[in-house]
């Protein structure tokens, strides 16, 4: 006979703590017990009801059903038990959902403007989880607020990405 007083081992696969994602979200975990077979593996989000995780055969990987979350901060928790009723819990693990593209605002110039004055484009980019942005003027790096003095045709291109891979 086997005596098992050891709880299952839980190792988070996804989403990792502090991840920024856009949905739908499928959470996954590795749940393993060296002495007993797994009994139940459950997950819950934002303090809601526990639901059974689906085992991905073969192996010790379990996942939630696809979840749609509104933009904002969220949390998940996992719990598991083995055949000997030893229990383990993991979490809460915080993550964020961001389904919105970065907002780019350019003032001081408008598409198609023609004039005889110095132009000073000012670029403002806003996003809850910014990652990278780039501005070019005629293919060269442009710094917001730099005056454009010389006569000519200009093309200002601005792009931005956030941590959830949303792109503007």
Judged against a pLDDT cut of 80, whether residue 138 lies above it is answered with yes
Task: Look at residue 23 in the predicted model and tell me its pLDDT.
Answer: 82
Nearest-angstrom CA–CA distance, 134 and 126: 13
Q: What is the mean pLDDT of residues 97-114?
A: 93
């996942």: which residue's tokens? 63
Look up tokens 């005629």; give the residue. Answer: 138
Q: Which tokens belong to 157?
A: 């291109």
The model's confidence at residue 127, banded by pLDDT at 50, 70 and 90, is very high
- Which residues does 153 contact at the CB level (< 8 Å), separation at least 6? none
pLDDT of residue 17: 96
Q: Output the pLDDT for position 110.
A: 87
Give CA–CA dist 125/162, Å, rounded. 11
CA 165, distance to chain mean position in Å, is 8
| Closest C-alpha to 31, from 40, 23, 22 | 40
- 102 pLDDT band, cuts 50/70/90, is very high
Class of residue 139 by CB neighbours under 10 A (exposed 0-12, middle 13-18, buried 19+)? exposed
Q: What's the mean pLDDT in 59-73?
A: 95
pLDDT above 80 for 58: no
């Amino acid at each position: 006979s086997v005596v098992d007083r050891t709880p299952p081992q839980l190792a988070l696969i996804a989403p990792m703590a502090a991840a920024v994602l856009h949905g739908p979200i499928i959470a996954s975990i590795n749940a393993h017990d060296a002495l007993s077979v797994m009994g139940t593996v459950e997950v819950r989000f934002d303090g809601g009801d526990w639901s059974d995780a689906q085992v991905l055969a073969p192996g010790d990987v379990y996942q939630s059903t696809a979840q749609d979350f509104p933009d904002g901060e969220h949390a998940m928790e996992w719990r598991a038990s083995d055949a000997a009723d030893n229990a383990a819990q993991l979490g809460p693990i915080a993550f964020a959902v961001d389904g919105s593209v970065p907002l780019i605002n350019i003032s001081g110039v408008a598409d198609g403007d023609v004039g005889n004055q110095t132009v000073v484009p000012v670029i403002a980019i806003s996003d809850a989880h910014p990652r990278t942005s780039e501005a070019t003027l005629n293919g060269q790096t442009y710094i917001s607020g730099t005056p454009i003095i010389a006569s000519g045709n200009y093309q200002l291109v601005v792009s931005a990405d956030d941590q959830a891979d949303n792109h503007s």
